[in-house]
Amino acid sequence: MRLDILKTIYFKEMLDQLRDKRALISMVAVPLLVMPLLITGMGQVIGMIEKKAEDEAKTLGIGLKVQSPVILEAIQKAGLKVVDKTDLRVAVEKKEIAAAIEETPGTNGIPEFIYYIDRSNPTSEAAGDTLRTLLSDLKDAQVKQRLKTQNLPDSVLTPFSIKRVNVAPERKMAGAMWGTMLGYILLLLMFTGGMYPAIDMTAGE
């Protein structure tokens, strides 16, 4: 087949596609407008879901079976309501409470705190994150208090510090970010933009 015939067929097909509003919407509007809006909307929705889960965790409440009044005080300061339940694990499974903490003797006389969460439930997951942070902070505070009673400085816990310095300027970081995303964007454009013309040409022929 001669080159001039191929050129004629190519320009004819391109002209047909440019005249087709549905093809233009599929090739231009969807990849360039709809997809960025969809990604931005998904980010906002995820943020709203996380905020709603945190609010529901405070409303639903926390089950508590501990001996230390410090735990109760810390939970109340965090704005979480304490709910009295007999079986904490079952209460979390039935979504009667957002999460729960139970104190057990543990080994070697060291108390062990078990917190129950339902990771399939965003509300329970948010409550569990709050409880984990509270327990970690309380543990650090008690360790520091015991060091003070032994006349030892807090620096015993941190023999050295770590600091990360990023030498890349903002322009270089922006280029790295866009360079990472560009490949996925091009793939999306190719698949989305070429899908409708391919279907139209095949069905048309």
DSSP for 94-109 reads TTSSSEEEEEE--STT
Q: Which domains, and CATH codes, for the chain?
A: 53-152 (3.40.190)
Cβ(197)–Cβ(24) below 8 Å: no
pLDDT reported for residue 160: 75
**pLDDT 10s digits, 115-159:** 888 888 888 888 888 888 888 888 888 888 888 888 878 777 777
How far is Cα 84 from Cα 97, in angstroms, rounded to an integer? 10
How far is Cα 21 from Cα 14, in angstroms, rounded to an integer? 13
Tokens of 158: 């941190």
pLDDT reported for residue 26: 67
pLDDT block averages, 10 residues each, the chain of length 205? 75 73 69 74 84 81 83 80 86 87 80 86 86 85 83 76 84 83 72 66 59
pTM: 0.58
pLDDT reported for residue 196: 64
pLDDT reported for residue 193: 63
DSSP secondary structure letter of residue 28: I
122 class by beta-carbon count within 10 Å (0-12 exposed, 13-18 middle, 19+ buried): middle
Tokens of 153: 């400085």
One-letter-per-residue 3-state SS of 137-187: HHHHHHHHHHHHHCCCCHHHCCCCCCCCCCCCCHHHHHHHHHHHHHHHHHH
